[in-house]
Structure 1
């Protein structure tokens, strides 16, 4: 084990609910990159379980709610938090629309057009990340970069192709 896995306030594994299925190559790429980046660098600490990590996270959607099932490295359950998706609906919808524009632009637009779309995409992503961080406050402590990576996965859970 290298030093990073000894840090207690971090994720060592992230799983998306198996009912999600597969999607387009662009979305599959987003999913793989987000999980890789999240595992590589994160700050994740359930407030009810101070310093007893590292943790595993299973993300799923159940009845239009976002479920964070947190367990220890050995799989022992720690806590499950269920968040309403209502505060995310507009952001995720707008994010999907701009991502579609972005993927189309990559194939045919000028660099300045791609950059403009990407700035809008990053702005919406930041808004969604901040909303996620606020919704998890008092439940799970995460930094903004971790919130960004988890928000990407929240979007992937919605993206069914």
Structure 2
């Protein structure tokens, strides 16, 4: 199924995320697998994304992502450090999916060590399905605030999961 792409003009003119900063106070040291997933998600986000705050001009943006008082905070500023917008979202709609994703990731990382390739593939398919579900919820929560495509939402969900790890 193809996702609609937000503001294709923004992509053509070079707008989007140029940096993603995770609030160190919101994140705890986690497993090497989660740390690797987080680093890859940030790298991939910066390399390719569709990220456009609604009602803002096409520009290069920096996203500060944090969890404050059990709320997800998207603080967006321009590359030249001008505040653009801050959106505070409840984590409640994501709690169950994050818990499910955490359980299936544990199973996946354990399977990598001991399971057959077909077992690993089956668990990975389930993991990707739960990840897509979380990404869709995140897209819905950002609707009308920040336009993102599914690939960007998937990478953002990975970071939300990494931030949620502290809890």
- TM-score, length-normalised on structure 1? 0.93
2:13 is the counterpart of 1:45: no
Aligned to 2:37, which of 12, 30, 33?
A: 30
Q: Which residue of 2 aligns with 1:18?
A: 24
Aligned to 2:109, which of 103, 110, 113?
A: 103
> How large is the Cα RMSD of the aligned pairs?
1.5
Q: Hey, what's the Cα distance between the residues in 1 that align with 2:146 and 2:34?
A: 26
Give the C-alpha shift of residue 160 in structure 1. 3.1
Structure 1 residue runs of 5 or longer lacking an equivalent are none
Structure 2 residue runs of 5 or longer lacking an equivalent are 1-10
Give the C-alpha shift of residue 22 in structure 1. 2.3
Q: Hey, what's the Cα distance between the residues in 1 that align with 2:88 and 2:53?
A: 13
SS, match of residue 102 in structure 1? helix
Count of residue pairs the alignment pairs up: 156
- TM-score, length-normalised on structure 2? 0.90
2:120 is the counterpart of 1:125: no
Give the C-alpha shift of residue 50 in structure 1. 2.8
Q: Which residue of 2 aligns with 1:91?
A: 97
SS, match of residue 94 in structure 1? helix
